[in-house]
Amino acid sequence: MPELPRPSAAAQRTKDYHPPLGSRDGVRLDFNENTFACSPKVLEVLGDVSRAALTKYPEREPVERLVATRLGLDAAQVLLTNGVDEAIHVICQAYLDADDEFLLPVPTYSMYEVYGSATEAKMISVQAGSDFSFPMDALLNKISPATKLIAIANPNSPTGSITGREAIQRILEQAPQAIVLVDEAYYHFYGQTVLDLIGRVPNLMVTRTFSKAYGLAGLRLGMLAASAEQMQWLRRMISPYSVNGLALACLPAALEDESYINWYVHEALRGRAEFIDALQRLQVPYWPSEANFILIKIGMKHREFVAAMRRRNVLVRDRSNDPGCDGCVRITIGVQEHNHQGVEALKESLAEIGWRPDEVKAGD
Ligand SMILES: Cc1ncc(COP(=O)(O)O)c(C=O)c1O
85 CA from centroid of ligand 1 (Å): 6
231: helix, strand or coil? helix
Identify the pLDDT of residue 22: 80
Q: Which atom of ligand 1 is nearest to the CA of 221?
A: 10
Instruction: Spell 209-237 as b/e; 16+ CB within 10 A means b.
Output: bbbbbbbbbebbbbbbbbbeebbeebeee
Q: Is the pLDDT of residue 363 over 80?
A: no
pLDDT digit string, tens, across residues 317-332? 999 999 999 999 999 9
**What contacts 37, CB < 8 A, 6 or more positions away?**
43, 215
Q: Residue 197 carries which side chain, given as an amino acid letter?
A: L
pTM exceeds cut of 0.75: yes
Cα end-to-end span (Å), the chain: 54
Which of 10-24, 41-55, 200-214 is the most confident on average? Answer: 200-214
Q: Residue 91 carries which side chain, given as an amino acid letter?
A: I
CB 32 within 8 A of CB 319: no
How many Å is the Cα radius of gyration of the chain?
A: 21
17 CA from centroid of ligand 1 (Å): 14
Ligand 1 neighbours by CB, cut-off 6 Å: 32, 83-85, 109, 153, 157, 183, 185, 209, 211, 217, 222
3 CA from centroid of ligand 1 (Å): 39
